Structure 1
Amino acid sequence: MEGGGSERQTGGRNSLSARDLRETLAEVGICTWSLNPTTGRVTVSENCHQVLGVPARSLSDHDAFQAVVHPEDRGARAAAVCCALNQGGRYSIEYRVRQADGEVRWVRSQGRAERGRGPAATRFRGIVYCIDERRQAEARLQRLQADLIHVSRLSAMGEMASALAHELNQPLGAISNYAAACDHFLAEPGPVRIDEARDAIAAATGQAQRAGAIIRRLRDFVTRGETDRQFESVAGLIGDACDLALIGVGEQGVEVRIDPGPPGARVLADRVQIQQVLVNLIRNACEAMRDSARRYLAITAAVQNDGVVRISVSDTGPGIPAAIADTLFLPFVTTKPTGMGVGLSVSRSIVHAHGGGFWVDSTATGGATFHFTLPTVED
């Protein structure tokens, strides 16, 4: 900083000329634009064809610029420009443009509207540049995250395979028994036998419907689909998840308490993904209590004052081992001998994507309680 601060030079041979600036921006793919708020005339740099795919001379006014914008994004861009001109300050928006050859690409435009002494903007200028690579990377990341979530669901069902097989064998075995009884009744014709056969058929139908309900729940749970957020009842989410997650739990001697909270509580959520979180937490809790003398599982929900519902899953297992307490939510960290170690990591990502929180409380006397929150919605 000798000589009075050479970094503050604004002239002379060390300053960046307008030509140098234009060439530098062109080399990095940045187009400059300027809009005259009074006349509506637009001026763009010559390199705009690299970004927008049309000659600079064709973008003479706001309407001409709008014509390049993808039809689905024109409204949002026009609203953003209008807001900047009316209120002044910074302008920033991402939208798609359709080039002359039909190719569609994503761009980001940002700038600033300046005011004079009056309320109207006197100057509006900025830059626009291509963000296609970033958008494509984000799309790939979203696909990978969706794949991981789906794999986690399949893994959960794989770990429950024996319990699911047992649950399905019960109605199937009952159907077989009722069919045999029906055959026996019909071998000895008579009004009484026919009535008994009808009863057997009705009972078999009920068992078939029970098996069908189990299969439908499994199909809905493992099917890979796009994220679909709807208004969902918290009690309904918990009930559907418990129907699947608690299969076979009674035979393990687990005492279960379910308190789904107030019946009117609702959230905006992807039903399958939130059920996935609950199924993972419930199955983990049951697994943790496998060697416990007392096996008590509590699944509760409570609406908080800050506009969220807190859902908790508590167990009486050994708690969280100190060795993994700090890394519990990292991928591939698990206490199961055959686990993948992605369930908790995926569950936390799902909850965070829904705008909620995810954490665990563990006590010195044993047991763990996993909590997650979701924003509630008003009727």
Structure 2
Amino acid sequence: MQHPIQVPSVALDSNERNRPEEALRESEERFRTLVQFSFDVYWETDAQHRFIRQEFAETLAEPPVSEIGRTRWEVPYLEPDAEGWRKHREILDAHLPFRDFELARPTPDGGKRYVSVSGLPIFDDTGHFMGYRGVGRHITERKRAEQALIESEARFRTFVDHATDMFMLHSEDGRVLDVNRNACESLGYGRGELVGATASFFDLQMDQAAWRINRDRLKAGGIATLESRYCRKDGTVFPVEIRMREFCEGGRSQIICLSRDITERKRTAETLREMQAELTRANRAAAMGQVTASVTHELSQPITATLCNAEAALSWLETQPPDFEKARQALASIVAEANRGGEIIGWIRSLIKKTPAPKESVDINGAILDVITIARSELLKHDVSIQTDLAPGLPLVKGYRVQLQQVVLNLILNAIEAMNCLDVGGRELRISTAEDASGRVVVAVRDNGPGLDGALVDRLFEPFYTTKPDGTGMGLSICQSIIEAHGGRLWTRANEPRGAAFLFSLPSEQG
């Protein structure tokens, strides 16, 4: 009896034999895919470190030349140096794994092509060393980017170190992370002494509370600018202007501070302030020179009245019986006239002396009337009629009475001079006061002279600019600085129907 041929079992045996081959092919495909997308080259060497296999990724634009049969150091490389090769040979001879060993080969254009190589030693079942297997990656672009970053950082460090200001990088809590050379030279400390220190180490005004306040300003956005004082290592103190800005790096907030020594600026500002004060005093003296006749007249009146009242008092005392009541009245008049004369002299002394009296609450209407009294003879001399429109119940202003009177006196004298070209009898000066909608006190001095040249109006308040042949060009500039120092504003406009009007506004004491 014949048995049937078992074909299915033969097919099954064939499939069983094919499975390991397919699995091997699949494994090799997976391996090639891994190499293609993960590495640029796969390599193997024998026990003498000669290349016996190299497979390059198809994605390489210019695949390297095969090095089969040669060792890695037999190929011309620009990097590493001899010491780098010596250390690498020691690792290979010790049959140790290595990672990210960087090489550089020359390119036809004279540049470099960088490769990072990693490898694992291979041993047989008896532990005999067979060679290495490894991968390589082309890192030329990365190296170029790193070199560009290094060069950029070097350029930035050079720029920062040669800056004339002090650069400091702070952490959120105020500790110094980095400084430039100028900061070290200006403070007298080494970089190692400053890095890690808090701002209060050299900043006399930047304690932790002040640092937190400025941090809050920075978090609100923008740049924080402040003035402070730094203390050098030798103990000397100097003023600085600090500009701070916050930025985020690596998820952490940091603050960069640019500090500038403003010693010269402070000294120049103080000199300018002293010069301005001296010019202001000289301007007052010049104005007083123009109203000397008025001052003489005003002083002669109380002196004459005092003399007459003294003679009258003597007469009343010599009568029989003496008239003590009339003598008392005459003596009271003497006291009043003496007080009036003293007030005039005190005003003149305050106007000319270098330092003004302390700030006070000023009745602007009363101050204007005092100026008109002093300038009365100058007004009469030039045949100028004056009208006043002083608003009652004006709020008081806080300031220096003498300085505000100097402004009014300057404006009156300028108006008198501007009207000299008019016929006698047609010269009119009007001074008015009012309170505007914002509660500020407004003073206006108007004349009916020829008016102002519209092309020159913008230059009227410039120092040393004048339209007068013998003018200094400082009067209106000083007036403007006085008004601005009081928190006010001085401006000009055309008067109707003709002439010029100069106005200034001052904040009220309540405001």
- The equivalent residue for 2:186 is 51
Looking at structure 2, the residues matched to 75 and 123 of structure 1 have their Cα atoms a distance apart, in angstroms, of 16
1:111 to 244, 257, 280: 244
- The equivalent residue for 1:28 is 163
- The equivalent residue for 2:477 is 345
Distance 1:23 1:115, change over 3 A: closer
Q: Work out which of the two has the higher radius of gyration on C-alpha atoms and give 1 or 2.
A: 2
2:199 to 65, 90, 95: 65
- The equivalent residue for 1:164 is 295
CA contact (8 A) 1:30 1:51 kept: no
- The equivalent residue for 2:87 is none
- The equivalent residue for 1:265 is 395
Distance 1:306 1:183, change over 3 A: closer
Distance 1:264 1:74, change over 3 A: farther
Q: Deviations over 1:226-270 (max 9, x none)?
A: 696666444454345445444664676544333333524344544
Distance 1:260 1:174, change over 3 A: same
| CA drift at 1:318 | 3.9
Aligned-partner SS, 2:266: helix
The 5 Å alignment of 1:13-24 reads 17-24=152-159
- The equivalent residue for 1:275 is 405
| CA drift at 1:378 | 3.6
- The equivalent residue for 1:199 is 329
Q: Deviations over 1:109-133 (max 9, x none)?
A: 2232135899xx6222232232222
Are 1:297 and 2:432 counterparts?
Answer: no
2:268 to 104, 112, 137: 137
Q: Deviations over 1:70-120 (max 9, x none)?
A: 35x7699535533246435433222122323332212122232135899xx
Root mean square deviation of aligned Cα: 3.8
Aligned-partner SS, 2:235: coil
Distance 1:83 1:194, change over 3 A: same
| CA drift at 1:142 | 2.1
What letter corresponds to residue 160 of structure 2 in structure 1? L
1:209 to 339, 350, 354: 339
Aligned-partner SS, 1:333: coil
- The equivalent residue for 1:174 is 305
The 5 Å alignment of 1:197-346 reads 197-225=327-355, 232-246=362-376, 249=379, 254-261=384-391, 263-289=393-419, 291-306=423-438, 308-320=440-452, 327-330=459-462, 331-335=464-468, 339-346=471-478
- The equivalent residue for 1:372 is 504
Q: Deviations over 1:267-293 (max 9, x none)?
A: 454433222211111232234445541
| CA drift at 1:215 | 0.8
What fraction of aligned residue pairs are identical, expressed as a percent? 30
- The equivalent residue for 1:3 is none
What letter corresponds to residue 388 of structure 2 in structure 1? I
CA contact (8 A) 1:320 1:368 kept: yes
Are 1:362 and 2:494 counterparts?
Answer: yes
Aligned-partner SS, 2:211: helix
Are 1:126 and 2:257 counterparts?
Answer: yes
Distance 1:328 1:178, change over 3 A: same
Looking at structure 2, the residues matched to 12 and 348 of structure 1 have their Cα atoms a distance apart, in angstroms, of 59
CA contact (8 A) 1:111 1:124 kept: yes
CA contact (8 A) 1:31 1:44 kept: no
Distance 1:159 1:353, change over 3 A: same
More displaced 10-residue stretch of structure 1: 293-302 or 319-328: 319-328
Gaps of 5+ in 2: 1-143
Q: TM-score, normalised by structure 2?
A: 0.60
Aligned-partner SS, 1:69: coil
CA contact (8 A) 2:294 2:374 kept: no
What letter corresponds to residue 109 of structure 1 in structure 2? I
Distance 1:134 1:16, change over 3 A: farther
Greater relative contact order: 1 or 2 (C-alpha under 8 angstroms, separation 6 or more)?
Answer: 1
Aligned-partner SS, 2:157: helix
- The equivalent residue for 2:92 is none
CA contact (8 A) 1:313 1:370 kept: yes
Work out the number of aligned pairs and report it: 364
CA contact (8 A) 2:397 2:507 kept: yes
Looking at structure 2, the residues matched to 15 and 227 of structure 1 have their Cα atoms a distance apart, in angstroms, of 64
Aligned-partner SS, 1:293: coil
Distance 1:229 1:200, change over 3 A: closer
Q: TM-score, normalised by structure 1?
A: 0.78
More displaced 10-residue stretch of structure 1: 140-149 or 242-251: 242-251
List structure 1 segments (4+ residues) > 6 angstroms apart after TM superposition: 9-15, 321-324
What letter corresponds to residue 104 of structure 1 in structure 2? V
| CA drift at 1:205 | 1.8
Distance 1:262 1:31, change over 3 A: same
Looking at structure 2, the residues matched to 27 and 190 of structure 1 have their Cα atoms a distance apart, in angstroms, of 98
| CA drift at 1:172 | 1.3
Distance 1:194 1:303, change over 3 A: closer
CA contact (8 A) 1:91 1:113 kept: no
Looking at structure 1, the residues matched to 239 and 210 of structure 2 have their Cα atoms a distance apart, in angstroms, of 13
Q: Deviations over 1:6-36 (max 9, x none)?
A: xxx9987899643443344333333322222
Looking at structure 1, the residues matched to 209 and 407 of structure 2 have their Cα atoms a distance apart, in angstroms, of 35
Are 1:42 and 2:173 counterparts?
Answer: no
Distance 1:167 1:10, change over 3 A: farther
Aligned-partner SS, 2:451: coil
| CA drift at 1:155 | 0.9
Distance 1:151 1:364, change over 3 A: same
